[in-house]
Structure 1
Amino acid sequence: MSIQKESSRPFHLYLSYAWNDERALDEFRTLLQRERFKPTISILSPAHSANQADDERALYHAIKTKIKFCDAVVMLGGEYVKYGRWINKELIACRDELRKPVVFVRREKSEPIPFIFKQHADTIVDWDAEAIVSAIRQLAGRRS
């Protein structure tokens, strides 16, 4: 069963820094294409100067700038410990300041969901194209 396609409305997503693993990013794009969903994707590159600096404000500002014009923020499960520095700033920017919806994607059903995501995600979905696309469309549609 496939959800109804909304070809006339482009979506712009910010993917959490945890998606900087090229393989995970490619798998995500491929998964979305199964639903014929091709959003514009923003991500803070590891090469961005704010990532190299010790200045936490510069990093936060760079994250906030990337998130500002996005319809939704997509977080990847299983990466919180490794990328907590970025994820905390992403959550503050998108939830507290910019009021962007957060979709948490759990790659493995057995994967524990960190409390911070239970607390801040608008929805938690499994690694399933239809569920992910439906969540994005529903949450981003609230803001339209």
Structure 2
Amino acid sequence: MPSLYDYRLFISHAWKYGDDYNRLISLLNNAPYFNYYNYSAPKEKPLFPYGTPMTNSKIRELISNKIRPSQITIVFAGMYAAYSDWIKYEIDESVRMNKPILAIQPWGQQRFPSYVTQNADKIVGWNTSSIVFAIRELAR
């Protein structure tokens, strides 16, 4: 059997709301016939090692370096995204770099931040096949 294609994903997230991120990683890891490389910064491997000084310009640079090699940016369309300057920066950088944006609707949420919906190329619910299909469709 030929090897599967590895999709290069940048998953935007806020550690305060890490359950959505962890659930998505689990979903993608268990998706049949789907391989990916995760360019986001997991909690176990943060952008900055402990004790390293963080400046906004350095954080922006490191986030941009994570987005650059990805094919697609995935954003959770939770209302917390409306209040995160870093998630907005990740969306802006993805748009600037011409990366398609996939938004995932949180369970049971009726309202979505307009900034996410205005910039998303596609919005899907929490369904493995919908998410994987959208990634395959949007990835270049």
TM class, shorter-length = 0.7 to 0.9
Q: Which residue of 2 aligns with 1:125?
A: 124
Quick one: which of 1, 4, 13 aligns to 1:17? 13
Q: Can you list the C-alpha shifts for 1:80-119, whole angstroms capped at 9, x where unaligned?
A: 145x1211110111101x1101000012243311110111
Q: Can you list the C-alpha shifts for 1:69-89, whole angstroms capped at 9, x where unaligned?
A: 01111111213145x121111
Quickly say closer, same or farther: Cα 1:69–1:25, change in 2 above 3 A: same
2:56 is equivalent to residue 60 of structure 1: no
Identify unmatched segments of 5+ residues in structure 2.
Answer: none
Quickly say closer, same or farther: Cα 1:12–1:77, change in 2 above 3 A: same
Contact 1:35 1:129 in 2 (8 A): no
TM-score normalized with structure 2 length: 0.80
Aligned length in residues: 133
Q: What is the Cα-based RMSD across aligned positions, in Å?
A: 2.6
Is the deviation greater in 31-40 or in 131-140?
A: 31-40
TM-score normalized with structure 1 length: 0.78
Q: Which residue of 1 aligns with 2:107?
A: 108
Q: Which residue of 1 aligns with 2:38?
A: 41
Q: Which residue of 2 aligns with 1:87?
A: 87
Q: Which residue of 1 aligns with 2:69?
A: 69
Shift of residue 26, structure 1, vs aligned partner: 3.0
More helix by share: 1
Contact 1:14 1:72 in 2 (8 A): yes
